[in-house]
Amino acid sequence: MFPSAPVAPPVVDNTPPPLVVDLDGTLVHTDMLHESTLRLCRQAPLAALRIPLWMMRGKAFSKQQIAQRTRLDTSLLPYDQTLLSWLHAQRQGGRQLVLCTASDRTIACDVAAHCQLFDEVLASDGGLNLKGEHKARALVQRFGSQGFDYVGDAMADLPVWSAARQGIVTNATQATIDRAQEAGHIAQVLSPRRTSLSSWWGALRVHHWTKNLLLFVALVAAHQIDDLQAWMRLALAFAAFSLCASSVYIANDLLDLEHDRRHPRKRDRPFASGALSIGQGVLLMPLLALAALALAWSVGPAFMVWLCGYLALTWLYSCWLKRLAVVDCLILAGLYMMRVVAGAAAVDVELSFWLLAFSGFLFLSLAFVKRYAELLLPEAAADSKLHGRGYVAADAASIQLFGVAAGYCAVLVLGLYLNSETVVRLYATPELVWGTVPVVLFWISWIWLRASRGEMHDDPLVFAFRDKASLVAAALFGMALVLGSWTFP
């Protein structure tokens, strides 16, 4: 007998299966269909009207048509940095990475090209919407049942986790995590989704509601501060303007996503960073506007007209006028003044020419401060332009000149007003009211000095409420008015 030949040991393949990664809500903290639809509405609103017709031919076809008409800057998307770091480690370990998404293939390929992580891209192609059961079947056909691991974030991924060898959950709610663990073997939860109260606070811009205190200016200037009913009506007016402003802030953030993501501070805003979804913003925006209009109607028809005018003008500003140099500052000043006028309309107080002229020049100066501060940002200097606005970095000196001139014109109007007969009628000791002139002169000079040092907030009124020198100036201004109203023996 011949000796038996040695038996070779079985080959054990320790190579892990392909790692399949979802895009929307997983790799990026946003939805690419929402992003591209918003961009289409902004760039080609007439084409956006065809979306319902495209949807009649299927969601995949609609995604394809929208993607063909828009091009997103994928480098600016809010990527999940925790997941990206983990994927880089997986790739360095020799693992095959596959991007599989319900987004259109054009967008998916752009994202893959930017990340330079993925060996293969599977995406919707205009005929098949690669989501849920469709995605699960496509992956089983490509890699076999239990032949891949899958990273996802939503309930729609449950069939895919069921077909995968292992599931990785990221950016998901606790309910989704629980369902995923029931559907398949979940090996890892990278980061659960948390929407904090601060995200909603930032989206509504509650701290900007302080600007609506301008509604009370006309009542105070008319020396009718003892009218309790007027204060109650102005409180409702304040709530209406605040809700209306929050609605517009959300709209502006949604329309300005790419520009905000280029900004060193605005990139952390809730919608730009993906802390809140675009869908949440689109739903909340009209609800806030309707609530504001309901409150405005309870205040009175005259106030309602001014609030509607404010709402219309802010929409024009967000969609178009903010891109026109100088015009945008005039509009911003006008929006501040509309608060003063609307407050007067709410309590039926007559506005004086002096108050309108003073506030007009003052708010124009503040609008120019806002643009000047933005033009001093390193990003504006590097690009030689201010993204989404009609300015270049070289305009900073001119904007500074315009703003300082407007501010000093406000001081001049105040001085002329204090020399009028109106002051003699309203104040018992008008000489003391002259103390307001150096106070305003100081404050205008102070904010422009801080702006030239690059220390100005994006919104000068927000800066004023936080700046100690500005608060002291406001206290001295109010003290001069109060002392001027007293009769001294």
pLDDT digits (tens, 9 = 90+) for 241-276: 999 999 999 998 998 888 888 877 788 889 999 888
Q: Taking 60 as the threshold, does the pLDDT of residue 3 lie above it?
A: no
Two tokens at 394? 């070289």
pLDDT digits (tens, 9 = 90+) for 355-386: 889 999 999 999 999 899 888 876 555 556 66
- Whose structure tokens read 């299966």? 17
DSSP H/E element including 430: helix 430-433
If you average pLDDT over residues 337-364, what whole number do you get? 90
- Separation of first and last alpha carbons in the chain: 136
Of 375, 405, 367, 376, the residue nearest 391 (C-alpha): 375
| Nearest-angstrom CA–CA distance, 152 and 353 | 62
Q: Taking 80 as the threshold, does the pLDDT of residue 26 lie above it?
A: yes
Q: How many CB atoms lie within 10 A of CB 176?
A: 20
Hey, is 152 helix, strand or coil?
strand
pLDDT recorded at residue 380 = 55
Q: Given pLDDT bands bounded at 50, 70 and 90, which one contains residue 488?
A: low
- The CA-atom distances, in angstroms, between 7 and each of 1, 4, 10, 11 are 17, 9, 9, 12
pLDDT digits (tens, 9 = 90+) for 104-148: 999 999 999 999 999 999 999 999 999 999 999 999 999 999 999
| Nearest-angstrom CA–CA distance, 328 and 390 | 9
The burial class, CB within 10 Å (0-12 / 13-18 / 19+), for 271 is buried
What is 240-286 written as a DSSP string?
A: HHHHHHHHHHHHHHHHTHHHHHHSTTGGGSHHHHTSS-HHHHHHHHH
pLDDT recorded at residue 260 = 85
pLDDT digits (tens, 9 = 90+) for 402-412: 999 999 999 99
- % of the chain residues with pLDDT over 70: 93
Q: Taking 50 as the threshold, does the pLDDT of residue 2 lie above it?
A: no
The burial class, CB within 10 Å (0-12 / 13-18 / 19+), for 189 is middle
Two tokens at 241? 């303007």
Q: Taking 60 as the threshold, does the pLDDT of residue 10 lie above it?
A: no
| Nearest-angstrom CA–CA distance, 318 and 312 | 10
The model's pTM: 0.81
pLDDT digits (tens, 9 = 90+) for 210-246: 889 999 988 887 778 788 898 999 999 999 999 999 9
